[in-house]
Amino acid sequence: MDNPLSTGEAKTSPHELTLHLAAEGGHGEIAAQLLAHNPALIDDTHSGDTALHLAARGGHDKIVQQLLSIKPELANVRNSHSRTALHEASRKGHNEVVELLLPLADPSHLETAMLEAASKGHVYLP
């Protein structure tokens, strides 16, 4: 049976997928346990996304906060679509997540994140 999450990337580890699924699904306790067991998982990508991209896209502010507390520089990592976690949260209208990411965002990402939000009908007013 084919893995529905497989994208043809070489040597995707089951732990990597587990962290990404936990982040995407908003399962902070599971993500915390995985990271406690193997902190290096925070740097893994799946289909170009970090766990932070997925948590931000899903509006999971507690997981976003948890991941940023471990590695704040993840806020400026771009995925395969050249989007940061701020772009992903903005596109989905997750203002709580946007507020967590804004202080860490590279200023060059702010305009495009605002355009992403507007293109999807979302307005953010701090």
Residue among 103, 120, 43 at smallest CA distance from 74: 43
Cα torsion 95, 64, 102, 122: sign: negative
pLDDT digits (tens, 9 = 90+) for 15-67: 558 899 999 999 999 999 999 999 999 988 888 899 999 999 999 999 999 99
Q: Are 75 and 65 in contact (CB under 8 A)?
A: no
Q: What does each C-alpha distance from 101 to 47, 52, 64 come to in angstroms?
A: 22, 10, 8
Q: Are 67 and 44 in contact (CB under 8 A)?
A: no
Position 125 pLDDT exceeds 70:
no
Q: What is the CATH number of domain 14-75+84-119?
A: 1.25.40.20
pLDDT value, residue 105: 93
pTM, to two decimals:
0.81
Confidence of residue 110 (pLDDT cuts 50, 70, 90): confident
Residue among 47, 62, 49, 37 at smallest CA distance from 7: 47
Q: What is the mean pLDDT of the chain?
A: 85
